[in-house]
Protein backbone atom coordinates (compact mmCIF):
# COMPACT_ATOMS: atom_id res chain seq x y z
CA UNK A 1 0.00 0.00 0.00
CA UNK A 2 1.07 3.62 -0.48
CA UNK A 3 1.10 5.38 2.86
CA UNK A 4 1.92 8.88 4.06
CA UNK A 5 2.68 9.36 7.74
CA UNK A 6 2.49 12.97 8.90
CA UNK A 7 4.67 13.78 11.92
CA UNK A 8 8.04 12.14 12.59
CA UNK A 9 7.89 12.07 16.40
CA UNK A 10 8.04 8.74 18.24
CA UNK A 11 4.74 7.41 16.97
CA UNK A 12 5.02 8.68 13.39
CA UNK A 13 8.57 7.62 12.80
CA UNK A 14 8.27 4.18 14.35
CA UNK A 15 4.99 3.47 12.54
CA UNK A 16 6.35 4.72 9.21
CA UNK A 17 9.49 2.62 9.49
CA UNK A 18 7.53 -0.49 10.53
CA UNK A 19 4.93 -0.13 7.75
CA UNK A 20 7.85 0.08 5.28
CA UNK A 21 9.41 -3.00 6.88
CA UNK A 22 6.12 -4.82 6.15
CA UNK A 23 6.62 -4.06 2.45
CA UNK A 24 4.55 -0.90 2.00
CA UNK A 25 5.77 2.25 0.30
CA UNK A 26 5.88 4.89 3.03
CA UNK A 27 6.51 8.63 2.89
CA UNK A 28 7.17 10.27 6.27
CA UNK A 29 6.40 13.98 6.32
CA UNK A 30 7.46 16.60 8.81
CA UNK A 31 7.29 20.40 8.78
CA UNK A 32 10.73 20.62 10.39
CA UNK A 33 13.34 20.67 7.58
CA UNK A 34 16.16 19.98 10.05
CA UNK A 35 14.52 16.74 11.19
CA UNK A 36 13.98 15.69 7.59
CA UNK A 37 17.63 16.49 6.77
CA UNK A 38 18.78 14.32 9.68
CA UNK A 39 16.54 11.46 8.51
CA UNK A 40 17.64 11.82 4.90
CA UNK A 41 21.28 11.64 5.92
CA UNK A 42 20.75 8.33 7.75
CA UNK A 43 20.32 9.79 11.26
CA UNK A 44 17.45 9.52 13.74
CA UNK A 45 16.28 12.53 15.78
CA UNK A 46 15.25 10.35 18.76
CA UNK A 47 16.92 7.56 20.73
CA UNK A 48 15.06 4.30 20.20
CA UNK A 49 16.83 0.93 20.14
CA UNK A 50 16.75 -0.69 16.67
CA UNK A 51 14.99 2.20 14.92
CA UNK A 52 17.98 3.62 13.09
CA UNK A 53 19.02 0.32 11.51
CA UNK A 54 15.48 -0.38 10.32
CA UNK A 55 15.05 3.16 8.96
CA UNK A 56 18.34 3.09 7.07
CA UNK A 57 17.65 -0.35 5.55
CA UNK A 58 14.14 0.57 4.36
CA UNK A 59 15.29 3.92 2.99
CA UNK A 60 18.02 2.15 1.07
CA UNK A 61 15.55 -0.31 -0.44
CA UNK A 62 13.38 2.62 -1.60
CA UNK A 63 10.33 1.68 0.54
CA UNK A 64 10.78 4.60 2.93
CA UNK A 65 11.35 8.28 2.21
CA UNK A 66 11.33 11.52 4.18
CA UNK A 67 10.11 14.90 3.01
CA UNK A 68 8.67 18.26 4.04
CA UNK A 69 6.40 18.20 0.96
CA UNK A 70 3.03 17.25 2.48
CA UNK A 71 0.90 17.90 -0.64
CA UNK A 72 3.22 15.80 -2.83
CA UNK A 73 3.17 12.93 -0.35
CA UNK A 74 -0.63 13.02 0.04
CA UNK A 75 -1.15 12.92 -3.70
CA UNK A 76 1.01 9.80 -4.01
CA UNK A 77 -0.71 7.93 -1.16
CA UNK A 78 -3.97 6.04 -0.57
CA UNK A 79 -3.70 6.06 3.21
CA UNK A 80 -2.72 9.15 5.20
CA UNK A 81 -1.80 8.56 8.83
CA UNK A 82 -1.79 11.56 11.14
CA UNK A 83 0.79 11.22 13.91
CA UNK A 84 1.45 14.84 14.82
CA UNK A 85 1.83 15.90 18.44
CA UNK A 86 -1.11 16.78 20.69
CA UNK A 87 0.83 18.35 23.57
CA UNK A 88 -1.12 19.38 26.65
CA UNK A 89 -2.40 22.93 27.00
CA UNK A 90 -2.03 24.67 30.38
CA UNK A 91 -5.46 23.33 31.43
CA UNK A 92 -4.54 19.72 30.61
CA UNK A 93 -6.55 19.52 27.40
CA UNK A 94 -4.88 18.22 24.24
CA UNK A 95 -3.71 20.94 21.86
CA UNK A 96 -5.27 20.08 18.50
CA UNK A 97 -3.75 22.98 16.54
CA UNK A 98 -1.20 20.79 14.71
CA UNK A 99 -3.72 18.13 13.83
CA UNK A 100 -6.24 20.69 12.53
CA UNK A 101 -3.56 22.33 10.42
CA UNK A 102 -2.48 18.99 8.96
CA UNK A 103 -6.11 18.07 8.19
CA UNK A 104 -6.58 21.27 6.21
CA UNK A 105 -3.35 20.69 4.30
CA UNK A 106 -4.43 17.12 3.48
CA UNK A 107 -7.79 18.39 2.21
CA UNK A 108 -6.16 20.93 -0.05
CA UNK A 109 -3.71 18.38 -1.46
CA UNK A 110 -6.24 15.58 -2.10
CA UNK A 111 -6.47 14.30 -5.68
CA UNK A 112 -8.86 11.36 -5.15
CA UNK A 113 -10.24 8.97 -2.51
CA UNK A 114 -8.12 8.67 0.64
CA UNK A 115 -8.29 6.96 4.00
CA UNK A 116 -7.35 9.47 6.71
CA UNK A 117 -6.31 7.65 9.87
CA UNK A 118 -5.51 9.38 13.15
CA UNK A 119 -2.78 7.82 15.29
CA UNK A 120 -2.20 10.88 17.47
CA UNK A 121 -3.92 10.57 20.85
CA UNK A 122 -6.95 12.78 20.49
CA UNK A 123 -10.07 13.47 22.58
CA UNK A 124 -13.26 11.64 21.76
CA UNK A 125 -14.91 13.38 18.81
CA UNK A 126 -11.70 14.62 17.18
CA UNK A 127 -11.94 12.31 14.17
CA UNK A 128 -15.35 13.80 13.44
CA UNK A 129 -13.91 17.29 13.79
CA UNK A 130 -11.08 16.41 11.38
CA UNK A 131 -13.54 14.92 8.91
CA UNK A 132 -15.59 18.13 9.03
CA UNK A 133 -12.48 20.23 8.44
CA UNK A 134 -11.49 18.15 5.42
CA UNK A 135 -15.04 18.24 4.11
CA UNK A 136 -15.03 22.04 4.38
CA UNK A 137 -12.17 22.20 1.87
CA UNK A 138 -12.82 19.38 -0.59
CA UNK A 139 -15.70 17.50 -2.13
CA UNK A 140 -13.50 14.46 -2.84
CA UNK A 141 -14.42 11.27 -1.00
CA UNK A 142 -12.44 10.05 2.02
CA UNK A 143 -12.99 7.87 5.09
CA UNK A 144 -11.87 8.59 8.64
CA UNK A 145 -10.22 5.96 10.80
CA UNK A 146 -9.21 6.15 14.44
CA UNK A 147 -6.03 4.13 14.82
CA UNK A 148 -4.79 4.49 18.40
CA UNK A 149 -1.17 3.66 19.13
CA UNK A 150 0.03 1.66 22.14
CA UNK A 151 3.80 1.53 21.63
CA UNK A 152 6.13 2.16 24.54
CA UNK A 153 9.31 4.17 24.25
CA UNK A 154 12.36 1.96 24.53
CA UNK A 155 10.55 -1.04 23.05
CA UNK A 156 8.73 0.77 20.28
CA UNK A 157 9.79 -1.51 17.40
CA UNK A 158 8.94 -4.69 19.27
CA UNK A 159 5.57 -3.22 20.37
CA UNK A 160 4.73 -2.12 16.82
CA UNK A 161 5.79 -5.33 15.10
CA UNK A 162 4.19 -7.56 17.77
CA UNK A 163 1.25 -5.61 19.22
CA UNK A 164 -1.15 -7.13 21.75
CA UNK A 165 -3.97 -5.82 19.57
CA UNK A 166 -4.77 -3.36 16.81
CA UNK A 167 -7.76 -1.09 17.29
CA UNK A 168 -9.48 0.25 14.19
CA UNK A 169 -12.27 2.75 14.73
CA UNK A 170 -14.31 3.20 11.58
CA UNK A 171 -17.73 4.11 10.29
CA UNK A 172 -17.13 2.55 6.87
CA UNK A 173 -16.61 -1.21 6.63
CA UNK A 174 -14.53 -1.18 3.43
CA UNK A 175 -12.07 1.36 4.91
CA UNK A 176 -11.92 -0.74 8.09
CA UNK A 177 -11.15 -3.83 5.99
CA UNK A 178 -8.34 -2.04 4.15
CA UNK A 179 -6.80 -1.01 7.47
CA UNK A 180 -7.24 -4.52 8.85
CA UNK A 181 -5.42 -5.90 5.79
CA UNK A 182 -2.57 -3.44 6.37
CA UNK A 183 -2.17 -4.66 9.97
CA UNK A 184 -2.83 -8.36 9.37
CA UNK A 185 0.86 -9.33 9.18
CA UNK A 186 1.30 -7.94 12.72
CA UNK A 187 -1.41 -9.72 14.68
CA UNK A 188 -4.62 -11.69 14.47
CA UNK A 189 -6.04 -9.58 17.27
CA UNK A 190 -7.68 -6.80 15.27
CA UNK A 191 -10.63 -5.12 16.96
CA UNK A 192 -12.91 -3.02 14.81
CA UNK A 193 -15.04 -0.51 16.71
CA UNK A 194 -16.90 2.69 16.06
CA UNK A 195 -14.73 5.80 15.91
CA UNK A 196 -15.57 7.28 19.32
CA UNK A 197 -14.97 3.97 21.08
CA UNK A 198 -11.54 3.63 19.46
CA UNK A 199 -10.64 7.13 20.61
CA UNK A 200 -11.79 6.21 24.11
CA UNK A 201 -9.89 2.89 24.18
CA UNK A 202 -6.58 4.75 24.02
CA UNK A 203 -7.37 7.02 26.96
CA UNK A 204 -9.01 4.27 28.99
CA UNK A 205 -6.01 1.95 28.48
CA UNK A 206 -3.44 4.52 29.54
CA UNK A 207 -5.59 5.66 32.47
CA UNK A 208 -5.97 2.04 33.60
CA UNK A 209 -2.24 1.38 33.44
CA UNK A 210 -1.56 4.60 35.34
CA UNK A 211 -4.11 3.43 37.91
CA UNK A 212 -2.26 0.13 38.35
CA UNK A 213 0.98 2.02 38.99
CA UNK A 214 -0.53 4.43 41.53
CA UNK A 215 -2.33 1.51 43.17
CA UNK A 216 0.84 -0.51 43.68
CA UNK A 217 2.69 2.62 44.82
CA UNK A 218 0.12 3.17 47.55
CA UNK A 219 0.32 -0.52 48.49
CA UNK A 220 4.11 -0.03 48.70
CA UNK A 221 3.67 2.94 51.00
CA UNK A 222 1.47 0.84 53.27
CA UNK A 223 3.93 -2.09 53.06
CA UNK A 224 6.62 0.22 54.41
CA UNK A 225 4.49 0.90 57.46
CA UNK A 226 3.25 -2.62 58.14
CA UNK A 227 6.46 -4.48 57.35
CA UNK A 228 5.40 -6.27 54.15
CA UNK A 229 7.39 -6.47 50.89
CA UNK A 230 5.62 -4.94 47.88
CA UNK A 231 7.55 -7.02 45.34
CA UNK A 232 6.27 -10.19 46.99
CA UNK A 233 2.79 -8.69 47.24
CA UNK A 234 2.82 -7.74 43.53
CA UNK A 235 4.04 -11.21 42.55
CA UNK A 236 1.32 -12.82 44.60
CA UNK A 237 -1.31 -10.57 43.07
CA UNK A 238 -0.01 -10.94 39.52
CA UNK A 239 -0.63 -14.70 39.27
CA UNK A 240 -4.33 -13.93 39.40
CA UNK A 241 -5.18 -13.79 35.69
CA UNK A 242 -7.78 -11.14 36.38
CA UNK A 243 -5.05 -8.85 37.72
CA UNK A 244 -1.97 -9.83 35.67
CA UNK A 245 1.67 -9.27 36.64
CA UNK A 246 2.53 -6.20 34.57
CA UNK A 247 2.51 -2.57 35.65
CA UNK A 248 2.74 -3.54 39.29
CA UNK A 249 6.28 -2.30 39.84
CA UNK A 250 6.35 0.16 42.71
CA UNK A 251 8.69 3.11 42.33
CA UNK A 252 8.74 6.87 42.19
CA UNK A 253 5.69 7.18 39.96
CA UNK A 254 5.07 7.29 36.23
CA UNK A 255 6.37 9.99 33.90
CA UNK A 256 6.85 10.33 30.15
CA UNK A 257 4.94 11.89 27.34
CA UNK A 258 1.80 9.75 27.61
CA UNK A 259 0.49 8.83 31.05
CA UNK A 260 0.69 12.32 32.61
CA UNK A 261 -0.79 13.94 29.49
CA UNK A 262 -3.48 11.35 28.83
CA UNK A 263 -4.70 11.09 32.43
CA UNK A 264 -5.09 14.87 32.63
CA UNK A 265 -6.79 14.93 29.24
CA UNK A 266 -9.28 12.20 30.23
CA UNK A 267 -10.18 14.10 33.40
CA UNK A 268 -10.88 17.11 31.15
CA UNK A 269 -12.85 15.05 28.63
CA UNK A 270 -15.04 13.74 31.46
CA UNK A 271 -15.39 17.25 32.86
CA UNK A 272 -16.72 18.51 29.54
CA UNK A 273 -19.65 16.11 29.84
CA UNK A 274 -20.18 17.02 33.52
CA UNK A 275 -18.58 13.89 34.90
CA UNK A 276 -16.01 14.06 37.64
CA UNK A 277 -13.51 11.22 37.21
CA UNK A 278 -12.73 10.94 40.93
CA UNK A 279 -10.66 7.77 40.71
CA UNK A 280 -8.37 9.17 38.01
CA UNK A 281 -7.93 12.43 39.93
CA UNK A 282 -6.62 10.38 42.86
CA UNK A 283 -4.34 8.37 40.56
CA UNK A 284 -2.75 11.62 39.39
CA UNK A 285 -2.48 12.97 42.94
CA UNK A 286 -0.86 9.77 44.24
CA UNK A 287 1.59 9.83 41.34
CA UNK A 288 2.52 13.43 42.00
CA UNK A 289 3.20 12.69 45.65
CA UNK A 290 5.09 9.44 45.10
CA UNK A 291 8.19 11.16 43.74
CA UNK A 292 8.53 13.09 47.00
CA UNK A 293 9.00 9.82 48.89
CA UNK A 294 12.63 10.03 47.84
CA UNK A 295 12.90 13.50 49.38
CA UNK A 296 11.07 12.41 52.54
CA UNK A 297 13.48 9.52 52.98
CA UNK A 298 16.48 11.81 52.57
CA UNK A 299 15.00 14.27 55.04
CA UNK A 300 14.47 11.58 57.62
CA UNK A 301 18.02 10.24 57.18
CA UNK A 302 19.52 13.73 57.56
CA UNK A 303 17.10 14.76 60.32
CA UNK A 304 15.81 17.56 58.11
CA UNK A 305 19.31 19.05 57.67
CA UNK A 306 19.58 18.86 53.89
CA UNK A 307 21.32 22.17 53.17
CA UNK A 308 24.96 21.72 52.15
CA UNK A 309 24.69 17.94 51.72
CA UNK A 310 25.89 16.36 48.47
CA UNK A 311 23.34 14.07 46.83
CA UNK A 312 24.22 11.96 43.80
CA UNK A 313 21.46 11.08 41.31
CA UNK A 314 21.62 8.08 39.00
CA UNK A 315 19.12 8.25 36.14
CA UNK A 316 17.26 11.20 34.67
CA UNK A 317 15.09 9.63 31.94
CA UNK A 318 11.49 8.82 32.90
CA UNK A 319 12.34 5.15 32.34
CA UNK A 320 15.31 3.17 30.96
CA UNK A 321 16.20 2.75 27.28
CA UNK A 322 14.98 6.18 26.27
CA UNK A 323 16.46 9.68 26.22
CA UNK A 324 13.02 11.13 26.95
CA UNK A 325 12.82 13.21 30.10
CA UNK A 326 9.35 14.67 29.63
CA UNK A 327 7.57 14.64 33.00
CA UNK A 328 10.40 12.57 34.43
CA UNK A 329 10.13 12.42 38.25
CA UNK A 330 13.85 13.35 38.30
CA UNK A 331 12.97 16.90 37.17
CA UNK A 332 10.97 17.70 40.29
CA UNK A 333 13.15 15.73 42.68
CA UNK A 334 16.33 17.50 41.57
CA UNK A 335 14.58 20.89 41.47
CA UNK A 336 13.44 20.41 45.07
CA UNK A 337 16.92 19.37 46.21
CA UNK A 338 18.65 22.27 44.46
CA UNK A 339 16.10 24.78 45.78
CA UNK A 340 16.78 23.50 49.29
CA UNK A 341 20.51 24.07 49.17
CA UNK A 342 21.55 20.49 48.33
CA UNK A 343 24.57 20.03 46.06
CA UNK A 344 23.36 17.66 43.35
CA UNK A 345 25.61 15.54 41.14
CA UNK A 346 23.75 13.79 38.32
CA UNK A 347 24.30 11.22 35.61
CA UNK A 348 22.25 9.40 32.98
CA UNK A 349 23.73 7.17 30.26
CA UNK A 350 21.62 8.70 27.46
CA UNK A 351 19.23 11.40 28.63
CA UNK A 352 21.62 14.00 30.09
CA UNK A 353 21.47 16.49 27.18
CA UNK A 354 17.66 16.38 27.01
CA UNK A 355 17.48 16.80 30.77
CA UNK A 356 19.71 19.85 30.66
CA UNK A 357 17.52 21.38 27.95
CA UNK A 358 14.43 21.09 30.16
CA UNK A 359 16.03 21.69 33.56
CA UNK A 360 18.83 24.11 32.62
CA UNK A 361 22.54 23.49 33.08
CA UNK A 362 22.95 25.54 36.24
CA UNK A 363 22.85 24.27 39.80
CA UNK A 364 23.82 20.63 39.15
CA UNK A 365 27.24 19.01 38.71
CA UNK A 366 26.85 16.82 35.60
CA UNK A 367 28.98 13.67 35.67
CA UNK A 368 30.34 11.33 33.00
CA UNK A 369 29.75 8.03 34.72
CA UNK A 370 27.99 6.41 37.65
CA UNK A 371 31.05 6.02 39.90
CA UNK A 372 32.19 9.65 39.51
CA UNK A 373 28.67 10.77 40.35
CA UNK A 374 28.75 8.94 43.68
CA UNK A 375 32.24 10.22 44.56
CA UNK A 376 32.12 12.18 47.84
CA UNK A 377 28.31 12.05 48.06
CA UNK A 378 26.42 12.01 51.37
CA UNK A 379 23.68 9.97 49.69
CA UNK A 380 22.86 8.42 46.33
CA UNK A 381 19.38 8.30 44.78
CA UNK A 382 18.65 5.86 41.96
CA UNK A 383 15.79 7.30 39.91
CA UNK A 384 15.89 5.32 36.62
CA UNK A 385 16.53 1.58 36.48
CA UNK A 386 19.16 1.52 33.72
CA UNK A 387 20.90 -1.88 33.48
CA UNK A 388 24.30 -0.37 34.15
CA UNK A 389 23.18 0.66 37.65
CA UNK A 390 21.89 -2.75 38.70
CA UNK A 391 25.28 -4.22 37.74
CA UNK A 392 27.24 -1.88 40.03
CA UNK A 393 29.35 -3.38 42.79
CA UNK A 394 27.99 -1.80 45.97
CA UNK A 395 31.10 -2.79 47.93
CA UNK A 396 33.23 -0.67 45.60
CA UNK A 397 30.61 2.06 45.49
CA UNK A 398 30.64 2.60 49.23
CA UNK A 399 34.40 3.25 49.18
CA UNK A 400 33.96 6.36 47.00
CA UNK A 401 31.00 7.84 48.87
CA UNK A 402 31.31 10.10 51.86
CA UNK A 403 28.48 8.19 53.52
CA UNK A 404 27.09 4.92 52.19
CA UNK A 405 23.45 5.93 51.91
CA UNK A 406 21.38 4.63 49.00
CA UNK A 407 17.79 5.50 48.17
CA UNK A 408 16.74 3.03 45.48
CA UNK A 409 13.65 4.59 43.89
CA UNK A 410 13.14 1.64 41.53
CA UNK A 411 13.80 -1.41 43.72
CA UNK A 412 16.76 -2.38 41.58
CA UNK A 413 18.94 -3.94 44.25
CA UNK A 414 18.39 -7.20 46.08
CA UNK A 415 19.43 -8.47 49.48
CA UNK A 416 22.49 -10.24 48.06
CA UNK A 417 23.80 -6.98 46.54
CA UNK A 418 23.80 -5.42 50.01
CA UNK A 419 25.42 -8.29 51.89
CA UNK A 420 28.78 -7.32 53.34
CA UNK A 421 28.28 -3.61 52.73
CA UNK A 422 27.56 -0.86 55.24
CA UNK A 423 24.92 0.74 53.08
CA UNK A 424 22.03 2.47 54.72
CA UNK A 425 19.57 1.31 52.11
CA UNK A 426 16.00 2.37 51.45
CA UNK A 427 13.89 1.12 48.56
CA UNK A 428 10.17 1.40 47.84
CA UNK A 429 7.83 -0.78 49.89
CA UNK A 430 10.48 -3.25 51.04
CA UNK A 431 11.18 -2.41 54.70
CA UNK A 432 12.82 -5.79 55.34
CA UNK A 433 15.71 -4.66 53.13
CA UNK A 434 16.15 -1.39 54.99
CA UNK A 435 19.68 -2.14 55.96
CA UNK A 436 21.45 0.05 58.49
CA UNK A 437 18.25 1.84 59.38
CA UNK A 438 16.86 1.57 62.88
CA UNK A 439 13.28 0.88 62.12
CA UNK A 440 10.71 -0.50 64.47
CA UNK A 441 7.63 -1.93 62.95
CA UNK A 442 4.61 -0.98 65.00
CA UNK A 443 2.70 -3.71 66.76
CA UNK A 444 -0.32 -4.03 64.53
CA UNK A 445 -3.62 -3.31 66.24
CA UNK A 446 -6.72 -5.24 65.37
C1 LIG B 1 2.97 4.28 27.74
C2 LIG B 1 2.06 3.07 27.42
O3 LIG B 1 2.60 1.90 28.02
C4 LIG B 1 1.92 2.91 25.92
O5 LIG B 1 1.01 1.85 25.65
C6 LIG B 1 1.39 4.21 25.34
O7 LIG B 1 1.30 4.12 23.93
C8 LIG B 1 2.30 5.36 25.72
O9 LIG B 1 2.43 5.43 27.13
P10 LIG B 1 5.59 4.78 27.76
O11 LIG B 1 5.22 6.10 28.35
O12 LIG B 1 6.57 4.74 26.65
O13 LIG B 1 4.28 4.01 27.25
O14 LIG B 1 6.24 3.90 28.94
P15 LIG B 1 5.79 2.75 29.94
O16 LIG B 1 6.75 1.64 29.81
O17 LIG B 1 4.37 2.43 29.83
O18 LIG B 1 6.07 3.45 31.36
C19 LIG B 1 5.42 4.65 31.72
C20 LIG B 1 5.86 5.08 33.09
O21 LIG B 1 5.34 4.22 34.10
C22 LIG B 1 7.38 5.10 33.33
O23 LIG B 1 7.72 6.27 34.05
C24 LIG B 1 7.64 3.86 34.15
O25 LIG B 1 8.78 4.01 34.98
C26 LIG B 1 6.37 3.79 34.96
N27 LIG B 1 6.04 2.42 35.41
C28 LIG B 1 5.68 1.47 34.51
C29 LIG B 1 6.07 2.12 36.77
O30 LIG B 1 6.38 2.96 37.62
N31 LIG B 1 5.71 0.85 37.17
C32 LIG B 1 5.35 -0.11 36.29
O33 LIG B 1 5.05 -1.24 36.73
C34 LIG B 1 5.33 0.20 34.91
The 3-class SS string of 224-275 reads: HHHCCCHHHHHHHHHCCCCCCCCCCCCCCCCCCCCHHHHHHHHHHHHHHCCC
Half-sphere exposure of 4 (CA within 13 A, CB side): 27
Residues marked as catalytic:
258
Ligand 1 close to Cβ of residue 151 (< 6 A): yes
Q: Does the pLDDT at position 284 exceed 70?
A: yes
Residue 442: is its pLDDT beyond 80? no
Annotated binding residue 35: yes
Does the pLDDT value for residue 443 go beyond 80?
A: no
Q: Is 153 annotated as a binding residue?
A: yes
**What number of CA atoms fall less than 13 Å from residue 223's CA on the CB side?**
24
Does the structure show a pLDDT above 90 at 294? yes
C-alpha 190 – ligand 1 centre gap (Å):
23
Res 289 pLDDT > 80: yes
pLDDT at 353: 97
Domains and CATH numbers, the chain: 2-193 (3.40.50.720), 202-289 (1.10.1040.10), 291-433 (3.40.50.720)
Nearest protein Cα to ligand 1, atom 17: 152
Is residue 439 over pLDDT 80? Answer: no
pLDDT number for residue 433? 83
What is the model's pLDDT at position 123? 92
Q: What percent of the chain has pLDDT over 70?
A: 98
| Residue 250 labelled as part of a binding site | yes
User: Relative to the CA of 213, which ligand 1 atom is closest?
Assistant: 31
pLDDT per position as a tens digit, 388-415 = 999 999 999 999 999 999 999 999 999 9
96: confidence class by pLDDT, cuts 50, 70, 90 = very high
Pocket of ligand 1 contains residue 256 by CB under 6 Å: yes
pLDDT of residue 438: 58
Ligand 1 pocket member 247 (CB < 6 A):
yes
Does residue 386 line the site of ligand 1, with CB under 6 A?
Answer: no
Residue nearest to atom 7 of ligand 1 (CA): 150
For ligand 1, pick from 253, 256, 411 the residue to mutate: most ligand atoms within 8 Å of CB. 256
Give backbone dihedrals phi and psi of 25, rounded to 5 degrees, phi first: -95, 115
Q: Provide the residue count of the chain.
A: 446
- 3 to 98, 147, 224: CA distances (angstroms): 20, 14, 52
Place 236 in a pLDDT band, splitting at 50, 70 and 90. very high
Between the alpha carbon of residue 251 and those of residues 221, 236, 289, 294, 393, the distances in Å are 10, 18, 12, 10, 22
Q: What are phi and psi of 234, to 5 degrees?
A: -65, -40
Closest CA to 405 of 332, 309, 331, 329: 309
Q: What is the pLDDT of residue 88?
A: 84
Among protein residues, the one with the nearest Cα to ligand 1's atom 15 is 152
Angle formed at CA 286 by CA 285 and CA 290, multiple of 5 degrees: 120
The model's confidence at residue 184, banded by pLDDT at 50, 70 and 90, is very high
pLDDT digit string (tens) for 254-265?
999 899 999 999
| pLDDT in the model for residue 434 | 77
Bridge-based pairing of strands 114-118 and 310-314 is: unpaired
pLDDT-based confidence at 316, cuts 50/70/90?
very high
User: Residue 5: pLDDT above 80?
Assistant: yes
| Ligand 1 centroid to residue 254 C-alpha, Å | 7
Q: What is the pLDDT of residues 127-179, one digit of tens each?
A: 999 999 999 999 999 999 999 999 999 999 999 999 999 999 999 999 999 99
Distance 9 CA to ligand 1 centre (A): 17
| Ramachandran quadrant class, 319 (left: phi over 0; alpha: psi -120 to 50; beta: rest) | beta
CA of 270 to the centre of ligand 1 (A): 23
Residue 318, ligand 1, Cβ within 6 A:
yes
Q: Which residues pair with 82 in a beta bridge?
A: 6, 118
- Measured from the Cα of 262, ligand 1's closest atom is 9
* Pocket lining: 249 vs ligand 1, CB cutoff 6 Å: yes
Residue 249 scores a pLDDT above 70: yes
Q: Is 10 in the pocket of ligand 1 (CB under 6 A)?
A: no
Amino acid sequence: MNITVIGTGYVGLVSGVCFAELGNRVICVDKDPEKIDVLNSGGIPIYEPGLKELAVANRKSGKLSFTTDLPGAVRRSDIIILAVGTPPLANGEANLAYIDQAALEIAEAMNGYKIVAVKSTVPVGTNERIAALIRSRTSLRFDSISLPEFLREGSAIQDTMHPDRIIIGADCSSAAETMALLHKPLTEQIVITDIRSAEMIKYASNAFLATKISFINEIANICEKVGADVTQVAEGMGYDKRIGPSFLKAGIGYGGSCFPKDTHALIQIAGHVDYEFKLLRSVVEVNQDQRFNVIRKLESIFDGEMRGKTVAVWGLAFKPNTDDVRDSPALEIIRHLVDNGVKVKAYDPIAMANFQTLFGKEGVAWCDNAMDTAQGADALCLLTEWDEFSGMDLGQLQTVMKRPILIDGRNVFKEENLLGTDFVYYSVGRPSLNQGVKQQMPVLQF
